[in-house]
Amino acid sequence: MKKAVILIIHTEINYCNMFIQQLIKDGTTDVFVHVNANVNELKEKIIKSDCVHIVKNNVIIDWGSPGLMQAIIESWKEVMNYGAFDYIITCSGQDILLREGLDDFLLNHPREIFIDAYEDDKNRRVLLLNNWPKFYFRRIDCKFNPVRIMRRLRIEILKAGFSFGKRKISYDVNKIVFYKNYFWSVIPAEVIQWILDYLKEYPEYWDVFNGAVPEEGFIATTIMLSPYKEWIKYDNGISHSLTFIKPFYNNHPQLLLAEDIKAAETSGLFFGRKIDPVKSFQFINYFYDKQADK
């Protein structure tokens, strides 16, 4: 079993190095670190190891823009060009490894794709197929922020069927059913290779996702066009990743804290999200120390 973990980071390099140490401990994992091009200086602070690689073609990542999906695709390319892997795992610098034994789990679950996804055709069409002014591409946590209110109003108007600002796309979007997914995932490498080959054969397909928050639609939507669609196992219309997450609040996963240790430990999942190095320090120390003692 050979795994590649893509780690998308933009800050908190000291904690990221702890996470990297967790990941490479099993001896079957290479880590490919994509550093947001806005903070290239972080590259020099990443721990040095033969199995830790810095993604060379890194890009700027801004919330809501195609940047995150472009970062993932560029990272996929570098992983596939580097060598042969069985699985490609995508995480962020705010994740943590909860337990060992991932290799055995994956060997016992062949031909499966682990991603949090569900059909979301109407919403994705609104976000992806219409022009969006750049000032909407901002992470805004305040529910009463005028830009956030305007963005939500624009979405509801478009969903109601009032068409304006439609993008011209040469790819036939009528043959697509759009899904929503979160980017953290564990995917067989042959599936990733199929996606990259599809993008090469149909370059106009990427333009479909040159809209708002494309990383929340690209992966699952594309796999559902592929011969591997049955590898995503849906349970009542929802598929699941191997990442433990508390219920979302204000469209973001809540931080994992000391009181979440038991739930995370008994979940049977392998990764945890979302970590803050200060607020989550007890959670981090519990799982880091537990694995370091073995």
Q: Is the dihedral of CA 78, 83, 88, 94 positive or negative?
A: negative
The answer to whether 211 touches 125, Cβ cutoff 8 Å, is no
Task: Tell me the whole-structure pTM to 2 decimals.
Answer: 0.92
Specify the DSSP class assigned to residue 235: B
Q: What is the pLDDT of residue 33?
A: 97
Q: What is the pLDDT of residue 254?
A: 93
Angle at 30 between CA 29 and CA 34, to 5 degrees: 135
Angle at 24 between CA 22 and CA 28, to 5 degrees: 135
Please report which residue ranges of 108-210 form alpha helices under DSSP H.
Answer: 121-128, 146-159, 189-201, 204-208
Largest distance between two CA atoms of the chain: 60
Specify the DSSP class assigned to residue 174: G
Residue type at 115 in one-letter notation: I
Measured distance CA(140)–CA(135) in Å, rounded: 11
Edge-first strand order for the sheet with 87-92 is: 52-54, 29-35, 3-9, 87-92, 179-188, 114-119, 238-239
At a CB cut-off of 8 Å and minimum separation 6, what does 247 contact?
A: 254
Beta strands in the chain (DSSP E): 3-9, 29-35, 52-54, 87-92, 95-97, 114-119, 179-188, 238-239, 243-245, 248-249, 252-253, 271-273
Q: Would you state the structure tokens that stand for residue 14, as one six-digit string?
A: 């000291």
Angle at 108 between CA 102 and CA 113, to 5 degrees: 75
CA 172: distance to chain centroid?
26
Specify the DSSP class assigned to residue 42: G
Residue type at 129 in one-letter notation: L
Q: What is the pLDDT of residue 166?
A: 82
Q: Provide the residue-wise pLDDT of the chain in tens; the chain has 294 residues.
A: 999 999 999 887 889 999 999 999 999 999 999 999 989 999 999 999 999 999 999 999 987 788 999 999 999 999 999 989 999 999 999 999 999 999 999 999 999 999 999 999 999 998 899 887 777 777 767 777 887 888 878 877 777 777 777 889 999 999 999 999 999 999 999 999 999 999 999 999 999 998 888 999 999 999 999 999 999 999 999 999 999 999 988 778 899 999 999 999 999 999 999 999 999 999 999 999 888 766
